[in-house]
Structure 1
Amino acid sequence: MKKTYQQLTYEQRCQISILKKSGFSQRSIAAAIEVNQSTVSRELARNTGSRGYRHRQAQRKTERRRADAVSATKMTMEAIELIESKLRLEWSPEQISGWLLIEQEQLISHESIYLHVWADKQAGGDLYRHLRRQGKRYDKRRNGKSTRGHIKNRVSIDDRPQVVDEKSRVGDWEIDTVIGKGHRGALVTVVERVTKYTLSAQVNSKSAADVTQATIRLLRPIKDIVHTITADNGKEFSYHEKIAKALSADIYFAHPYSSWERGLNENTNGLLRQYFPKGTDLKAIKAIDVRQAVERLNTRPRKGLGFKTPEKLMNIHRAAKAA
């Protein structure tokens, strides 16, 4: 019999959490997220903890069960073709590994994907050119331990207010960097979670000093609508306390290798790659080119926004706030 059950996404678990707390029935929740009532019932039975149903906890419990239940998938030709197709879309090995586990129930570690990339490079292939860190092994290790996530005084996304996940206010941002060819230059990108309004600035390097300065310069003019910023664990965000103080905002860090926790920012960086393709020397581009690319993103109708533009929604919010 063909399997009809579809795994819930992280976004659907967020909706379940919100609707359940609001007193909706399982039938109403199922209708709202467009799944069978049995799916909601099964989700609540499996993933409700001692403090009730919490979407982050539910996601982690599901991922642990899958990791325990699924045997490591061999690098078959079919798996390799799928992995290589995602690499050529500029997906990182971590993103591919996570996607394979959640969407395909295939357990292939990001380390295995990196090994395949390096083997391909030695054989004269070009897969490595699609990585953010071309020519270098990702995640430099010391004494066999990862150095990612070791940012002083970082606050985990687990402590981020529920209102950020609910997207019930404007002013919660995600931040990331886009790296140029040979690490020549970078773009700092920040995107607001509700309106999808994007800001970006060119920097000479991915250093914490340059990224911090650019972030403050981008957001200080609108600091009244900057409540939180969510970053990954890159060392370029080591000066997060300086950013928080300058903007009077709270900064949170996603779990290492959990890019889906900043999915909007990852998607926005992909849209920017349309204007600054992989291999672009970002130190050589002009500031006006960055402004024009960002303007196009902000003035483009988005299906997820009811075909309104990020710029229009942000302007509406700022006008209402000023009234």
Structure 2
Amino acid sequence: ELDVELVLRSGRRSRRRRRLPPDPRGRRTWVEGAELALRPPEADSRAVPGHWEGDLVVGSDGASCLVTLVERSTRFLLASRLEAHPSETVAGRLAEMVSGLPAALSRTLTWDQGVEMARWRDFAAATGFGVYFCDPRSPWQRGTNENTNGLLRQYFPKGTDFAAVTDAEVREAQDQLNGRPRETRGWRSPAEAMAGLLDSDAGGATTV
């Protein structure tokens, strides 16, 4: 039986950031083939679980961050701290974060067009997720994650240096948000909704 405590934490120091070469056409070529218009229509609905939205909450030093993932149907949050966010490090950490999920909860991930996701194919190959990118300057296309990141700011206000935050503090904030009842879910908490999916093997178009 899979526990809802899914976040994997690491004390490893991240590798030095390595920038991708500039795109001579001024385009973010890593997005090609993963545009939001190509995402399965079922991801637009909250009836089918397993569709996630993600982003980075970057610290005051410009390097340390929280990697955040939110499942759309349950609002369940996974959060993990990094001291730097080069694309290869982000891809690896994302794969760790979702490694305990069953296939039925590992359908798609929607992200913005940040360079930290330029190696999304590595993540997709390791996990089976489909990855899709929002249109430029369209944060509402991953609004569930945006709203959840706003709730995280109650614990880590703007100006927080995540290099000075402990993994235990991140885990405590995550667990408190997952345990908070939500009116949109009939006053069930995200943890309760996720547990219900896991107990039912997250089959088909389960509504939670």
| TM-score calculated relative to the size of structure 1 | 0.53
> For residue 128 of structure 2, what is the amino acid of its counterpart?
S
Residue 38 (structure 2) aligned to one of 144, 155, 159? 159
Q: 1:240 aligns with which of 100, 120, 125?
A: 120
Matched, 1:294 2:184: no
Q: Hey, what does 1:220 align to over in structure 2?
A: 99
Q: What is the count of residue pairs matched by the alignment?
A: 181
CA apart distance, 1:322:
7.6
Aligned partner of 1:200 in structure 2 is 79
Distance in 2 of aligned mates of 1:204 and 1:212: 14
Are 2:186 and 1:319 aligned? no
Structure 2: unaligned runs, 5 residues or longer: 1-21, 204-208
CA shift for structure 1 position 229? 0.5
Tell me the SS of whatever aligns to 1:190. strand
Task: Report the residue type matching 1:177 in the other structure.
Answer: L
Which is helix-richer, 1 or 2? 1
Partner SS, residue 97 of structure 2: helix
The letter of the residue matching 1:259 is P
Give the superposition deviation at 1:249: 1.3
Task: Tell me which amino acid in the other structure corresponds to 1:218.
Answer: M
Instruction: Please name the residue that 1:173 is paired with.
Output: 52
* Maintained 8 Å contact 2:63/2:85: no
Match of 1:255 in 2: 135
Contact 1:220 1:246 (C-alpha < 8 Å) held by counterparts:
no
Structure 1 distance, partners of 2:144, 2:31, is: 25
State the Cα deviation string for residues 227-259 of structure 1 (Å, max 9, x = none).
000011001001111111111111111101110
Instruction: Report the CA distance between 1:153 and its aligned residue.
Output: 4.0
Structure 1 counterpart of 2:90: 211
Deviations 1:118-173 (A, max 9, x none): xxxxxxxxxxxxxxxxxxxxxxx988x855x4325441111111111122211000
Scaled by the length of structure 2, what TM-score is found?
Answer: 0.82
SS of the residue aligned with 1:213? helix
Q: Is residue 204–residue 210 contact of structure 1 (8 Å, CA) maintained in 2? A: no
Per-residue displacement from partner, 1:190-245 (whole Å, max 9, x unpaired)?
00000000001001112102211110110011142110000110010011111111
Change (3 A) 1:154 1:283: farther
Deviation at 1:184, TM superposition (A): 3.7
Give the 5 Å matches for 1:106-145.
none
Instruction: Using CA pairs under 8 Å that are at least 6 residues apart, name the structure with larger relative contact order, 1 or 2.
Output: 2
State the distance in 2 between where 1:231 and 1:238 align: 11
2:133 maps to amino acid: F
Flag as ranges the 4+ runs of structure 1 deviating above 3 A: none
SS at match of 1:236: helix
